[in-house]
Amino acid sequence: MSMQHDAVVIGAGPAGLAAASRLAELGLDVLTLDEQFRLGGQIYRHIEKASDQQFRFLGDDYARGQILAARFRKSGAKYESSATVWQIEPDGSICYSRHGKSKRIKGSYIIAATGAMERPVPLPGWNLPGVIGAGAANNLAKEAGLQPDVPLVIAGSGPLLLLEATQLIKKGAKIEAILDTTPQIPPLSAAPKIPPALLRTDFLLKGVAMMQMIRRSSVPYLKGVTDIRCLGSEQVTGVEARQGDRTLTFDAKMVLLHFGVIPNTHIFRQAGCRMAWKNDQRYWHPVCDNWGRTNFERIFAAGDGAAVYGALAAEYKGELAALETARCLGILPEYERDALAAPLRAALKKDMYPRPLIDALFSPHFDATALPDETVLCRCEHVTVGDIRKVVAEGVHEVNEVKIITRSGMGPCQGRMCGPALAEIVASESGVSIQKAGLLNIRPPLKPIPLDEVATMDLGPDGSGPANLFKNQSK
């Protein structure tokens, strides 16, 4: 296969599929690299093999993925599954590993559509076997038709938590309690966000229906819960939490945690893209123009990886990035790009109406000071919140320095699970702003790969040697 493509799309979720389809339909040579072994990303996971029952159960929101997947297959876009991208460079070079071999290719343009991940929020016992993400449980249902058959507790905050709860109620799962950490009284900041949301009553009604279903079920639904703690030594056996001055305890063999979703930004940080802090949602995202272009001419960010707005918005943004890429490649004149973009921008605007309200209602309120010292922050290296506090008290106020001293973020996940909370803890303990506490530096390889793959890889015509692959990136 050729080493040079007009465009390389990274990720085969809604944004990646839409971008690749559009580019291929315009006659461009586009390669889609996806890390999963099946396309669809997380939202449309397993979409091409889903059973009728799954479609009935997951509804129209999921079925939309079928249209997207069919369009992608028909478009003629090249597609490689199980392809783990481990380095991108501003000149369009990409290194990726597939079936035990690494390759270096080049795209005139890169559209990175890496999607979102569940916000990792440490709490005591969150690393016990049996404690999994609510989104993870959802993935298991889509991918393998697995449904929990032990007593479980659902805890956290956000619309996806409630969605997962209603799905489990429908399936008759044994839910001991839903512990919602969202405050009992909605924040005042939510009020001005209501009028635009009213333009999308369809969306609001969905939320109302979810709440009704939860309230009508026999499952205890508790709001304003704090101090959640998973109990057990070798495996989770229960959950303890507080509601006001009441202490609650539940027996459970499984705990599903969810605290909203954040962009998956490692690839942008590795490339050296400029990042910005979104304060109301408390996450970092790459800075993009309204086509999704980052500060690098050849690197675009599309979908939830650029900022979390959901599957539909991701699809539109993938197309917008594709249109601008096509213009740059000389396929579309500017006026045609703009004409094709207009309906997408209108649809995007409509889709965004309820977002400020949702964001305000479920704004993250991570209280780093409430975490007990013994809470494991970095699961890979077993670094506790107390370890971080000690180092911060000694005067270290920047996350990369904290990482060097404590090893938090140095394990195989490369700070994906501890990074966001690490910054919150460092900022809150030291009193510096979260921007000043910083963001963990990300270096290639983005995912651990066997060294023999690097040693034996074909670097292409301009590759000089494996050592050059790891030459220092930004900073």
Partner 1 sequence: MFKQQHPTKAVSVLLDGRPSSLPGGMSVAAALLATGEIVSRLSPSSGKPCSPHCLMGICYECLMEIDGYQRQACMTEVQEGMVINRNILKNKEDQHEHAA
* Closest CA relative to residue 259, chosen from 363, 151, 139, 373: 363
Q: Which of 140, 210, 222, 352 binds partner 1 (CB under 8 A)?
A: 140
Beta carbon of residue 77, minimum distance to partner 1 (angstroms, whole number): 22
Asked if 89 contacts 233 with a C-beta cutoff of 8 angstroms, the reply is no
The 68-87 site mask, x for binding partner 1 (CB under 8 A), equals --------------x-x---
Choose the binding region for partner 1 from 143-151, 154-162, 221-229, 422-430 (rule: CB under 8 A). Answer: 143-151
Choose the binding region for partner 1 from 24-32, 48-56, 287-295, 306-314 (rule: CB under 8 A). Answer: 48-56
Residue 119 is given by DSSP the state: P
Beta carbon of residue 123, minimum distance to partner 1 (angstroms, whole number): 13
For partner 1, which is the closer residue by CB, 169 or 322?
A: 169
Instruction: Classify burial at 416, counting beta carbons within 10 Å of its beta carbon; exposed 0-12, middle 13-18, buried 19 or more.
Output: buried
Longest dimension (CA), the chain: 67
Q: What is the DSSP string of 252-306?
A: -SEEEEEE-EEE--HHHHHHT--EEEETTTTEEEE---TT-B-SSTTEEE-GGGT
The 50-69 site mask, x for binding partner 1 (CB under 8 A), equals -x-x----------------
Q: Which of 1, 2, 144, 185 binds partner 1 (CB under 8 A)?
A: 144
Residue 307 is given by DSSP the state: S
Choose the binding region for partner 1 from 4-12, 140-148, 156-164, 431-439 (rule: CB under 8 A). Answer: 140-148
Cβ-proximal residues to 41 (8 Å cutoff; 6+ apart), any chain? 11, 12, 13, 14, 16, 17, 115
Restricted to residues 345-404, the positions that interact with partner 1 (CB under 8 A) are: 376, 379-382
Asked if 290 is part of the footprint of partner 1 (rule: CB under 8 A), the reply reads: no
Distance between CA atoms of residues 11 and 111, nearest Å: 9
For partner 1, which is the closer residue by CB, 85 or 396?
A: 85
Distance between CA atoms of residues 147 and 300, nearest Å: 37
Q: Which of 36, 93, 102, 294 binds partner 1 (CB under 8 A)?
A: 36
Beta carbon of residue 120, minimum distance to partner 1 (angstroms, whole number): 8
Beta carbon of residue 57, minimum distance to partner 1 (angstroms, whole number): 10
For partner 1, which is the closer residue by CB, 32 or 36?
A: 36
Asked if 133 is part of the footprint of partner 1 (rule: CB under 8 A), the reply reads: yes
* Residue 240: both structure tokens together: 């303890």
Residue 198 is given by DSSP the state: G
For partner 1, which is the closer residue by CB, 136 or 331?
A: 136
Beta carbon of residue 433, minimum distance to partner 1 (angstroms, whole number): 26
Asked if 147 is part of the footprint of partner 1 (rule: CB under 8 A), the reply reads: yes
Cβ-proximal residues to 455 (8 Å cutoff; 6+ apart), any chain? 466
* Site size toward partner 1, by CB under 8 A: 50
Distance between CA atoms of residues 202 and 360, nearest Å: 19
Asked if 229 is part of the footprint of partner 1 (rule: CB under 8 A), the reply reads: no
Asked if 131 contacts 156 with a C-beta cutoff of 8 angstroms, the reply is no
Asked if 212 is part of the footprint of partner 1 (rule: CB under 8 A), the reply reads: no
Beta carbon of residue 165, minimum distance to partner 1 (angstroms, whole number): 17
Asked if 100 is part of the footprint of partner 1 (rule: CB under 8 A), the reply reads: yes
Per DSSP, what are the bridge partners of residue 277? 284
For partner 1, which is the closer residue by CB, 42 or 325?
A: 42
For partner 1, which is the closer residue by CB, 189 or 235?
A: 235
Asked if 40 contacts 90 with a C-beta cutoff of 8 angstroms, the reply is no
Beta carbon of residue 48, minimum distance to partner 1 (angstroms, whole number): 12
Asked if 148 is part of the footprint of partner 1 (rule: CB under 8 A), the reply reads: yes
Q: Which of 59, 192, 195, 450 binds partner 1 (CB under 8 A)?
A: 450
Residue 415 is given by DSSP the state: T
* Residue 431: both structure tokens together: 């009193």
Q: At what angle do helices 14-25 and 311-328 cross, to 10 degrees?
A: 30
Instruction: Calculate Rg over the CA atoms of the chain.
Output: 22
Asked if 340 is part of the footprint of partner 1 (rule: CB under 8 A), the reply reads: no
Choose the binding region for partner 1 from 136-144, 190-198, 346-354, 464-472 (rule: CB under 8 A). Answer: 136-144
Instruction: Classify burial at 333, counting beta carbons within 10 Å of its beta carbon; exposed 0-12, middle 13-18, buried 19 or more.
Output: exposed
Number of Cβ within 10 Å of residue 319's Cβ equals 24
Per-residue CA distances from 218 to 125, 174, 215 (Å): 27, 10, 8
Distance between CA atoms of residues 215 and 463, nearest Å: 61
Restricted to residues 395-434, the positions that interact with partner 1 (CB under 8 A) are: 411-413, 416-417
Beta carbon of residue 208, minimum distance to partner 1 (angstroms, whole number): 28
Query: How many residues are recorded in the chain?
Result: 475
Asked if 27 is part of the footprint of partner 1 (rule: CB under 8 A), the reply reads: no
Asked if 259 contacts 308 with a C-beta cutoff of 8 angstroms, the reply is no
Beta carbon of residue 97, minimum distance to partner 1 (angstroms, whole number): 11
**Coil vs helix vs strand at 431:** coil
Binding positions for partner 1, rule: CB under 8 A = 35-37, 42, 49, 51, 53, 82, 84, 100, 117-118, 120, 127-133, 135-136, 139-140, 143-150, 234-235, 253-254, 264, 376, 379-382, 411-413, 416-417, 447-448, 450
